[in-house]
Amino acid sequence: MADDDPTTEFSPSADPSGSSVGAPVRVRVRADTLRPLLSAVGSLVDECRVTFGPDGIRAAAMDPATVAAVEVELSASATTAYEADGTTVGVDVTRLREVLGMADDDDPVTLAFDPDGRRLHVVAGELEYAMGLFDPESVRGPPDIDELGFEHTAALTLPGETVGRFVAAAGMVADHLTLGVDPGEGAFVASADGDTDDVRFVVPAEEAAAFEGGEAESLFSLSYLECIERAVPSGADVRVTLGREAPLGVEYEVADGGGRVEAFVAPRLQAV
């Protein structure tokens, strides 16, 4: 069972596997610190690779159609206890979200591996859940996003709610939308054309934080943006990066800056 004092370091008896030998990962962290990270990954995939590195947890995933990718990180400093040796495992994200759904927001949750590394023990209050892990080699790995070296020509920071609104507006008329910056107008523009109706959503530069307005315009499938947007925590500010027929970047902090989510969506070809 979890210790009620989340600041206490692990004692051997807190190890649900009954032994500290060969169980290299033990993390204690509030449920609401983990939730937005799992939501971000779970918006694109059901299973993903998670690495428990020496300085924090990192997970990355790419959707089955390889159109969108997401990378999340949580610093060890955002946890209340952290021990890890760099192990990478394959995790059922959907299931782990359900298990965390049983915990209250401020419940300390303990994650620990079996000695043989085949199961993840999740302890939250009275609940002890042993979850089967996958071979990480069997889970689709995302590309290294930094290596892809996407270049953006425009960037701006928006409330997450604004992203939700232009995605919903576009969804009234079409299944895709164009995102761009018109340097002349000095505004970010989301637009979608339907059979009979069109919609435009305009954010002037002065209403966006950190507006860098080079020319940019790309077409995206709406469904990926809907998934990514749904995972943005209420109240979060989102940094959006755009280019000319280039990927969309969506980036935000979670856990009071102790965690970070970065998502990318590949553009669709523009109809000529």
Biggest CA pair distance of the chain: 66
Q: Residue 185, interface with a copy of itself (CB under 8 A)?
A: no
The answer to whether residues 176 and 219 touch, using CB atoms and an 8 Å cutoff, is: yes
Q: Are 89 and 79 in contact (CB under 8 A)?
A: no
Tokens representing 166 are 């232009």
Query: Contacts with a copy of itself in 93-112 (CB under 8 A)?
Result: 95, 98-99, 102
Binding mask 223-242 for a copy of itself (x = CB under 8 A): --------------------
Cβ of residue 69: shortest distance to a copy of itself, in angstroms?
A: 27
Q: What is the CA radius of gyration of the chain?
A: 20
Treating both helix axes as pointing N-terminal to C-terminal, what angle do 31-42 and 93-101 enclose, rounded to 10 degrees? Answer: 150
Q: Which two tokens stand for residue 9?
A: 């370091």
Q: How far is the CB of 145 from a copy of itself (least distance, A)?
A: 30
The DSSP string of 127-162 is EEEEEEPBPGGGSPPPP-HHHH----SEEEEEEHHH
Task: Output 9 or 198, the one with its CB closest to a copy of itself.
Answer: 198
Could you give the CA distance from residue 30 to residue 81 in angstroms, rounded to a whole number? 10
**Binder of a copy of itself out of 140, 165, 239, 244 (CB under 8 A):** 165
Q: Is residue 166 at the binding interface for a copy of itself, with CB under 8 A as the rule?
A: yes
Q: Which is nearer to a copy of itself, 85 or 128 (CB)?
A: 128
Query: Which is closer to a copy of itself, CB of 172 or CB of 209?
Result: 172
**CA 43 – CA 215 distance, rounded (Å):** 30
CA torsion sign for 131, 134, 140, 143 is positive
Q: Tell me how far apart the alpha carbons of residues 96 and 42 are, in angstroms, rounded to a whole number.
A: 10
Task: Please check whether residue 146 is in contact with residue 243, taking contact to mean a CB–CB distance below 8 angstroms.
Answer: no
Q: Which stretch binds a copy of itself (CB under 8 A): 7-15, 60-68, 141-149, 160-168?
A: 160-168
Which one among 162, 178, 218, 241 touches a copy of itself, defined by CB under 8 A? 162
85 is a contact residue toward a copy of itself (CB under 8 A):
no
Binding mask 27-66 for a copy of itself (x = CB under 8 A): ----------------------------------------
Residues at the site binding a copy of itself, with contacts judged by CB under 8 A? 1, 95, 98-99, 102, 126-132, 162, 165-166, 168-169, 172, 196-204
